[in-house]
Amino acid sequence: MKFWKMAASAALVVSTVLGTGWVGAGSAAAATGSWVAYKKSPFEVGTSTWHCGQTWPVGSNLLAQVCVVRTADEHYAQSAVIVRNNNSFLVGMTAQSDLSRGDEFVDRWSCASSGVAANSWSVCFGATGNYWAYYVKARGDANLVSLPESPWA
């Protein structure tokens, strides 16, 4: 498994500002996630650490992976689904992810259909939560294609 050191301090702030709020325990319905577009790899932004599952094909020239994103201080985490569109045209995507700690389900987030620009990345972020004392794992899908789960982070 690859551990990516980079990314999403800004995106963590964006997802919180956009109203995804704090993680609650055990919600049955999916909460609303937030899409963030990137012109370059999201791993190249910020100081957060990405712990991602295997990159997986989710369509023609479309790749995705599910991740746990931890802040540099390791106190906060969120789930994320990264989508890479290698096409020369806009592609509509949906994504959802969930977060677990130990054997306990934490919550599920869903990002409504959004366009992923040609030759770019978009990330569906779940809400941030304070998990400094817990290992967490993310699972998810993109356009209803199940993705390999993230490692524990």
Q: Which CATH architecture has domain 3-147?
A: Sandwich (2.60)
Per-residue pLDDT, averaged over 127-131, amounts to: 91
Better pLDDT: 18 or 131: 131
* Domain ranges within the chain, ordered by starting residue: 3-147
Question: 11's torsion region: left (phi>0), alpha (psi -120 to 50) or beta?
Answer: alpha
State yes or no: pLDDT of 151 exceeds 50: yes
Tell me, what's the pLDDT at 102? 80
Better pLDDT: 2 or 127: 127
Q: pLDDT per residue over 11-55, tens digit each?
A: 333 333 233 332 333 345 789 999 999 988 999 888 999 999 999
